[in-house]
A and B are shown apart, each in its own frame.
Chain A
Amino acid sequence: MQEDINKTLSQLQSEIDSLKEKIVSLESTKKDQLSIALVSGDLDKILAAMVISLAAAALDTQVKLFFSFWSLSALRDRRKKAKGKDFISRMFGLMLPNGKNKLKLSKMNMAGMGPMMINYLMKKQGVLSLEKMFSEAAGLGIEITVCEMSMNLMGFKKEEMIDYPNLRFAGATTFVAEANESSIQLFI
């Protein structure tokens, strides 16, 4: 009887030990960090990404945003011009939204009427504008990484991207490496 109990106890002890080891390894690999891969350039999706990022930053969670493909339109600075583009790049540049104030809605865009109405409602209901969200994000130390490959593919240039304190240019590997350390990963 006593022997059985001792055996069970030692089994339990070893299970607890192995669980402890697992917890330690999980804690050491996962940071309190949010990684988001943005692909969409739709106004509603960029808004969602920014709201989630700001909420996370308010919780002192480190936020790392990876902008690629269509989402790069949101990072274009309307006032900046880039030289030396080829014909296709210029066409892309003309056809894609020039900056975060020109983004389209994924639904009910209605030739720009939708975004106008959304902006009106956001103002009325005290939702921060996208412009303000980016400046809050900058103040909270939210990092933005521009996917260099898709930036080149879309014909955008570094010099036409917005001024942002934590903006850098990197590749998918950077996103994967950082997302691997994050406790939350999202794809928008």
Chain B
Amino acid sequence: MTPEELKNISVAKSVDARGTACPGPLLEAKKAIGTISTGDIMEVLSADEGTKVDIPKWCTKQGHEYLGTVEESGYYKIFLRKK
């Protein structure tokens, strides 16, 4: 998905993990994914640059669809769709 599409996407769940470093964002994403339904979109906010590499790997392993990352000032918004 293009950054423009992602910016306008409506998310079922937003996980703000900006206050935590690796592996915190992943743990929060894991907890949050259980609260949404299949097909729902979730965004993870992280200030940790490693997260934008880690989340796609997590998606590949878990079967979720990684949609893309948008860079904001000082943090990243990472989007995925639950399988």
Contact = CB atoms under 8 A, between A and B. Distances in A.
B20 interface: yes
B80 to A, nearest CB: 14
Nearest to A132: B24
A128 B24 contact: yes
A49 interface: no
DSSP majority for the A interface? loop
A59 B58 contact: yes
Interface residues of A, number: 12
A128 B27 CA distance: 11
Interface in B11-49: 19-24, 26-27, 29-30, 47-48
Interface residues of B, number: 16
A128 B58 contact: no
Interface in A28-60: 51, 54-55, 58-60
Contact of A126 (B20, B29, B54): B20
Contact of B29 (A51, A58, A127): A58
Contact of A59 (B20, B21, B22, B62): B62
Given A51-B23, A60-B62, A127-B24, 16 more contacts: A51-B22, A54-B27, A55-B22, A55-B23, A58-B26, A58-B27, A58-B30, A59-B61, A60-B61, A126-B24, A126-B48, A127-B20, A127-B21, A127-B22, A128-B24, A136-B27
12 contacts: A51-B22, A54-B26, A55-B23, A55-B26, A58-B29, A58-B58, A59-B58, A60-B30, A60-B61, A126-B20, A126-B48, A128-B24
Interface of A: 51, 54-55, 58-60, 125-128, 136, 140
